[in-house]
Structures are given as structure tokens and as C-alpha cells.
Amino acid sequence: MLDRWTAQHEIVDNNGEIPVYFHINRKCHYMTMHWHEHIEMIYQLSGRMTATAQGEQYELKPGDMLIVNPNELHRTISLGADAPYVLIQISVQRLREMMPAFEIVHFKNYIPAKEISPFPEVIQAFQQMKQAYLSQDDGYTLLFMANLYKVLYLLYRNFAYQMRPDSDEGNNRDLQRIADVMEWIQNNYRQKLTLREAAGLLGISKEHFCRIFRKYTGQTFLEYLNCYRTSRFWEDMQTSGKSFTELMEQNGIFNYKVFIQTFRQMYGKTPRELRYGKRTSKA
């Protein structure tokens, strides 16, 4: 566990009466690289999604699962507008109550449908959680939690292993370094940031920095920086009537061509198409 990871890129809340976060996502999305202290389970209903977890890249198809252990770097990108999935996030505190030995349990990140199919109870439990949450009939929380326990039990018995507390010490040290750089980027992204500065922050060579950054994020330093600035641009665009030029300057974006390419990759459209619609989509 990375105890020093206090800054969280994503803050996770529960769903009212259910003591976990449960969501059925039906929209196109691009989630930048981040971490949190929750375990995250994604069950792909249809369509496709690409995901990066701990530097490994996966493509999720219908019936596939992604499990992100607490404090693991990850990002997800839906491929197309029709790629719904079920998302469950469970806090560390709740996990301790449900699984007393969870601190030494590590779940497999990617479980393809062919490996889940021998355990139809997992698929049935996801379906029952989904139906219980949508109907919210009297006592639905009991049905929901009963099925959540069933999913965790089956995943624990078949797709998890126990590890020594010090088994990932070296990896955790590098992950902490990357987390420090990501926090530095998030605090200073409006300014001009360079690869040399990022490597200097950790006291290592640019070559070594590039290797470990790509290993754990699946992106280069510049790709992550561009994606983070673009995600902040998108957030500001939702609540501001400022011009695109103003929003770009506000978020440290000065290369228009790279910005448009990144924005299209992340959101499937240009800023003009999202703000004004197709009729004014010409940049």
C-alpha cells in the first residue's frame, strides 16, 4: 500500500443507502490517468473500452472485467458512444469490514469473458445488482449487498492471490515517484512544464524518467500533460462562456494542432462540435 498517497485525482462517493459507489455508464468517456484508495470493478455490458492499469493496456469487450486494486494507476477510454458498463467502487474502510485480510490480497487486473464464463454466478450477480439498483424496491439494498458479497467471494477464490507485505516494495517506490510527478503536474499544469524539470524533480536522468513514467502510465510525459490540460479545458468549457482561446491560455495550452488532436481522441468531437453542434463543426 502506498501510504503517502494523500492527494487523490478522483474522489469517490457512495450511492445513498448503498455503502459503495455503483454506476451504470452509457456515455462516451475518457478518464485521464488517476488513482484512488477504492477497489474498482468494471463489467463491460456491450461495446468496447480500452484501459490501462499499472502500465498494462487492455481492450475490454462484452463480458470482460477490469479490477483496479487500491492505489493503482489507471485510466479508461470508451470506444464509441454505445459502450455501457457497470462500475463498482468500494472504499478501503468497507473492504476491511468485508474482507479482513484484504491488505495482502491482490486481484487480477483483467479478466476476459472466457475466464468468467465458467462462473455464471458472477454474471448473474452483476445482473441482480443492476436490477436491484434500478428498481429500488423495498429491501433492495439487502439484495444488492448479498450479490456484491457473492461477486467478491468468487473473485477472491478464483482471480486473486495473496502477496507478502514487502513483495512490491521496489514497484511502490517507483509508483510513488510517478504519483509525485502527477501531483506536480496537477498543481502546475497552467505553466510551461518540461521533461527536464520532471526528471529533475525526482533526481533521475531523462531516460530513466521516461522509462518508468511510460511503464506505469502507458503514456509519455508529454501525452499525459496534454491529456490532463485538455481534460481541465473540457471541465472549464462546461461552466464557462469564455472563448476557446481564453480557455486554452487558462489551461496552459498553446499548440492548437496538438490540442485539437488530443481533444478529438479524448471526446470524439472538437470543442466547437460539443459547444455549438455539428452545423459549426469546421475548426
Express each pLDDT in 211-246 by its tens digit. Answer: 999 888 888 999 999 999 999 999 999 899 999 999
In a domain? residue 16: no
Distance CA(114)–CA(14), nearest Å, equals 31
Q: Do 102 and 175 fall into the same domain?
A: no
pLDDT, residue 72, reads 86
Q: Do 141 and 179 fall into the same domain?
A: no
Give tens-digit pLDDT for 243-275: 999 999 999 999 999 999 999 888 888 999 988
pLDDT, residue 13, reads 57
Question: Which of 162, 177, 203 is the endpoint of a domain?
Answer: 162
Q: Do 128 and 197 fall into the same domain?
A: no
Question: Which of 142, 162, 182 is the endpoint of a domain?
Answer: 162
pLDDT, residue 281, reads 40
For residue 5, is pLDDT > 70?
Answer: no
pLDDT, residue 278, reads 58
**Beta strands 56-60 and 48-53, pairing class:** antiparallel
Q: Do 154 and 173 fall into the same domain?
A: no
Closest to 38 measured CA to CA, from 82, 96, 85: 96
Give tens-digit pLDDT for 105-156: 899 999 999 999 999 999 999 999 999 999 999 999 999 999 999 999 999 9
Distance CA(245)–CA(19), nearest Å, equals 43
Q: Do 115 and 196 fall into the same domain?
A: no
Picking from 86-100, 112-126, 159-173, which range would have the lowest pLDDT averaged per residue? 159-173
Q: How confident is the model at residue 165 (pLDDT cuts 50, 70, 90)?
A: low
| 250 and 232 Cβ atoms separated by less than 8 Å | no
Closest to 106 measured CA to CA, from 47, 30, 196, 168: 168
Q: Do 81 and 202 fall into the same domain?
A: no
In a domain? residue 2: no
In the chain, the percentage of residues whose pLDDT exceeds 70 is: 88
How many structural domains does the chain have?
2
Q: Do 174 and 147 fall into the same domain?
A: no
Higher pLDDT, 274 or 29: 274
Domain of residue 268, CATH code? 1.10.10.60
pLDDT, residue 3, reads 36
Mean pLDDT value across residues 86-90: 95
- Cα-flanking dihedrals φ and ψ of residue 128, to 5°? -70, -35
Residue where the block lists cell 529533475? 200
Q: Which residues pair with 88 in a beta bridge?
A: 22, 41
Mean pLDDT value across residues 173-179: 82
Closest to 29 measured CA to CA, from 75, 84, 66, 78: 78
Mean pLDDT value across residues 91-108: 87
pLDDT, residue 32, reads 79
Q: How confident is the model at residue 282 (pLDDT cuts 50, 70, 90)?
A: very low
Question: Which of 107, 140, 162 is the endpoint of a domain?
Answer: 162
Give the domain extent around 27. 21-162
Higher pLDDT, 226 or 168: 226
Q: Give the Cβ contact number of residue 108 at 10 Å.
A: 15
Q: Do 42 and 132 fall into the same domain?
A: yes
Residue where the block lists cell 481534460? 231
Picking from 72-76, 183-187, 201-205, 226-230, which range would have the lowest pLDDT averaged per residue? 72-76
Q: How confident is the model at residue 196 (pLDDT cuts 50, 70, 90)?
A: very high
In a domain? residue 8: no
Higher pLDDT, 150 or 176: 150
